[in-house]
Structure 1
């Protein structure tokens, strides 16, 4: 009797359609680069930084916005956000040093150095002050700018950032969605980089930075004066929820926003919600 039941169960189960993945388990395609006539390489801070500029000079009070991507990625990941911001802002996207189409020098990766790259590009583009939207490493760089370059930063929308290494979950690289991102990033690196065969060394160098940085104290975070929103997805594969809440409670007057049914890649998984939150923070809309 039990054997007949099991045979029936497995036959029925085999005929059922596979359950669709939850949205937070998906990794939507990297957006195609948004076309612009203003793109190029800037020779600044000892390297060549690839950048693209969108939108006219700020209109209706809209400030310049710089979008900073996550580790291993490139500026193309911001395609959905560029389209939302460009009608009312001058928008700059850039490939961080050693990422995408940008080069690097012999100096080891570090968040202070990468923040200085942003300031150097701002100087080159004659941007005195800008709001920052950052994802993961880009969010950390945004907070670094708020700590060390206070006069150059307006608001900081820090998505999926951490301020100490213990804020990252152990074994994140084994998560299926995150592992798929690492593999995709490797193909994109090979297609874009001036050193296309050096991805493994690139990952090793970035991983060394991740193992050691950032390590900010409560006092450092409490010295931030820029308006900040700390944002994350409710299913982030990399950042511990308690750490996200700690950041929001430690940075003075910071907001906390948890996006539902989304992960470390919420800006791809639910760009409408992500963009609405981003615009609400930047423009009060």
Structure 2
């Protein structure tokens, strides 16, 4: 079952209009959520990121789009799919409705849809990494700016980069911005570890304003064992690093095992994962 603007219907009956602006122009935003035993993890951060993104795209936010309303619609969808007592991956999609060309019609109505599917792992654990291999994706680059940091439906670089990675037998690729700095992976934010320094690209470089990125930075804020830097990362730094890891809300951390001829460890990543798990238990 899927949720279309509050109505639950069978997925095979969920027809999208050819005039839908999310389909025609990518005029849409989405949040990928992890729901465990009826709790949406980091829901407040997801909600405020969505509202901020809608304002940046100048979408009219319906009065009904309160945090409580959207939370109830998400959990309603999860329950209808018999996932309330399990772990699930949920996509909340918001679009500007129908009408207009590039310029939306004034009477276009913002709508939402929600899809829930089972997710095997309810817990955040360290994933196998020794053979997890990445390389740079250099065919297209991200232009830094507010739009590049949004979780919008315009994901051509992630799509093309994923195809490129598969063609070359890699698990993922790292994305560059137009200044030739490494900003993120295809499916999450990037962290680089060198000695006791944990470094991640700043939002100004064009990386996604990731919810799990925020949790990791918060967990490390007052930790005396590490120095955290939000600073640009050059491709040259990758091969000098002790560790590289990717973060998103579904997996939390995926350590990178290999980049070109370099192999990495994951001791710091394991420590960071424990800190995030501890932060979750306290919330």
- More strand, by proportion: 2
Q: TM-score range by the shorter chain?
A: under 0.3
- More helix, by proportion: 1
Q: TM (normalized to structure 2)?
A: 0.24
Q: TM (normalized to structure 1)?
A: 0.24
